[in-house]
Structure 1
Amino acid sequence: MTGRRDPHTDLHSDQGALRGEHPGRAGDPVVKVHDLAWLEFEKPDLARAEAFARAFGFTPVLRTPEELHLRGTDPGAPCVLVRRGARSRFAGPAFKAADRQGVLRLADATGRKVAPLPESLGGVTVDLVDPSGARVRVVADTLELPALPAQDPQTLNFGHDVHRINDVQRPPREPAKVRRLGHVVLQTTRYLETLNWYLQNLGLIVSDFLHHPRQRDRGPVMSFIRCDRGRTPTDHHTLALVLGPADRYVHSAYQVADLDALAAGGEYLLDRGYRRSWGIGRHIQGSQIFDYWRDPDGFLVEHFSDGDMFDCTLEPGWAPMTASGLAQWGPPATKDFLGIKPGRESLRELRAVLGALRDDNEFDLGRLRGLLKVAGS
């Protein structure tokens, strides 16, 4: 009897680069950022945004008629800034430099000016523009908010390793308290140029490359990129870049305590009428347990827990990109998550495909064929 082939075979990217492939890091970067500081959005309805944010597990720390700042329980700056705008849009990421000298060095290397941030944030920024047109802030000396009470992970009994005796497990159905911002994923029509820009200017390094099936010779089309803090472990990816027909935000991810917080928090969101996009499952690249949601403005946001942590010694892995390769376990990736669900978003993406094929960029007919294979895999 012929056994069924495991669809995850060869998808765990434990194979390294072949000779001549991208090394995944710059030899002499301008600076090495330490983390994501926050993400900035514009939305027309701040009250609606705040209601979802509270249900998702954020704590508002600033609320004016024109601005909303959201934080997690970890100490530091707010992790999401929302300003009132005529339409919903992603305004860009902010990365945290090691110190003010890093901001000054980056400004000098790029010909940009250092500017003070608003009093509500403190510190300074140098504002850059990456090759895909996204505004990228690098900040230092921002105000440090103190830690808030966090959700404690559940005490678990693993097989015969017993830690909970004469006690029961009753995780409450409540918002999964966000601890911190983990990563942001961006799509770009100029993938390789944009990747090299982040590696050279911000000192990020690649954890994993993905290539279209049977197109490895054309190079990668997605990279999971982490901060380089030497031997100090950092998230498997702080930024992920993927080649596509439009320059846009894909999703952002926020850490919660554990699987129980994530699952019970998901039930809380469902009870209030919010829409799950995909989950619950465990990713391959990054290994984190995930649960994806759509906020009322259509932005994709993720709860995650138990992600990989790498130091600077690990070289990039290489693997084919497939829809089945997005998770080790869990339901199949949904059409909503993949961006192919019939509706306004898929029509916008189709128009973007037609526009990208006419423009001078990295998204060509070969890449379109590869992307269609991914969606159908």
Structure 2
Amino acid sequence: MSARLLTHLRHVDLAVPDYDKQLDFYAGVWGLTKVEEDSGISFLAAEGSPEQYVVRLRKAAEKRLDLVSYGAASAADVDTLAERLLAGGVRLISQPGKVDTPGGGYGFRFFDVDGRTIEVSADVEVRRHRKIEEKESIPVKLSHVVLNSPDLDRTRNWYERHLGFRLSDTLSSPHMGEVMHFMRISNQHHSMALAKGPHASLHHVSFEMRGIDEYMRGSGRVIRAGFKKLWGPGRHMAGDNTFTYFLDPHGNTVEYTTELELLDEDTWHPHVYDFSRPEVTDQWGTANPMNELIAKESFNDPDRGCFVAPPV
């Protein structure tokens, strides 16, 4: 396992054919703030986050995950990581250099083992942000991203070996074996999770709300706006966080969450939870039962961006 050089999740970038509909959803009902837009690309911030943006949308002929971006503490750490990845046989898309997106910075891009584009950057200018007020039901920040992989253990081992992720917990069942690994780069239970799927794709993107009241108000707003609620509200056992999942206009799953567990990394030992037990998927028992139809929605469409770097 490599030493940890990543600090946090920065943003998730999506490409979609119906750009206007997608932008209306994220900058409207979902509660993000459009901070910049230029010829079919928009950058959306969470009001409580110091990140310049947490979602980038790009107009494209085909739906795809453009990239997942992580932060590093310094330009020196970016260079160190690039050297390690190159020495480890990882295919770099770009060499470390100036980042030409809001906030600037210094970074580079590379492919993960499934062909997703990953970006790592440092020295990005901090966005002026604010405290989210009581009853204000908009995202505070980007919480985590979950990725589907056809070879769960290979992908987990790659992220541990090359990027210093550590395993927090695993979901398993007697009939399906291991189906999800929760991975961390800090004391936050997971910044990323890997789900067993039929193909490489985006499983879901999660946004943290101020508290449970704001989480429920936000969930209600999305339901009233007519968007499909997949699953929730409830509280997971792994991570101990609340959840409500929706589909965005292009069939990507998005989640509102709160209270994701913070670990004592020195004493933490990963659990293997049997997700066939209802209290594992939802401690409260308030969510609709998890079933094959919900699982299938989260498989998403096969990602057209595997081993194809986004144009911007």
When normalised by structure 1's length, the TM-score is 0.72
Which whole-Å deviations, capped at 9, do the CAs of 1:208-235 have from their partners, x for residues lacking one? 022331676xxx442101114xxxxx32
Alignment check: 8 A CA contact 1:46 1:68 kept: no
**1:317 aligned onto 2:271:** yes
Would you identify which runs of 4 or more consecutive aligned residues in structure 1 move more than 3 Å? none
Number of the residue aligned with 1:270: 223
* Residue in structure 1 matching 2:138, options 172, 177, 189: 177
Q: Gaps spanning 5+ residues in structure 2: where?
A: 87-91, 303-312
Deviation at 1:270, TM superposition (A): 2.2
Deviations 1:114-148, CA, capped at 9 Å, x for gaps: 13211423012221211111111111111210113
Matched, 1:117 2:91: no
CA contact 2:146–2:194 (8 Å) conserved in 1: yes
Letter in 2 for 1:127: R
In the other structure, the counterpart of 1:92 is 67
Residue 13 of structure 1 is matched in structure 2 by none
Provide the residue aligned with 1:69 in structure 2. 43
SS of alignment partner, residue 101 of structure 1: helix
Percent identity for Structure 1 against Structure 2: 25
Kept in 1: contact 2:144–2:205 (CA 8 A): yes
The equivalent residue for 2:159 is: 198
1:132 to 114, 118, 122: 114
What is the alpha-carbon distance in structure 1 between the residues aligned to residue 29 and residue 247 of structure 2? Answer: 12
**Contact map agreement 1:189 1:244 (CA 8 A) in 2:** yes
How big is the shift at 1:298?
Answer: 0.8
Q: How many residues align?
A: 289
Aligned pairs (5 A) from 1:1-377: 26=1, 29-53=2-26, 54-72=28-46, 73-111=48-86, 112=92, 113-152=95-134, 171=135, 176-213=137-174, 220-228=178-186, 234-313=187-266, 314-322=268-276, 324=278, 325-329=280-284, 330-331=286-287, 332-333=289-290, 335-339=292-296
For residues 297 and 128 of structure 2, the distance between their equivalents in structure 1, rounded to whole angstroms, comes to 42
Of residues 88-97 and 119-128 in structure 1, the stretch that sits farther from structure 2 once superposed is 119-128
Deviates more, 1:301-310 or 1:114-123: 114-123
Distance in 2 separating the partners of 1:103 and 1:210: 32
**Structure whose alpha-carbon radius of gyration is higher:** 1
Pairwise CA distance, 1:323: 7.0
Q: Any stretches of 5+ residues in structure 1 without a counterpart?
A: 1-25, 153-170, 229-233, 350-377
Partner of 1:9: none
Across the aligned residues of Structure 1 and Structure 2, the Cα RMSD in angstroms comes to 2.2
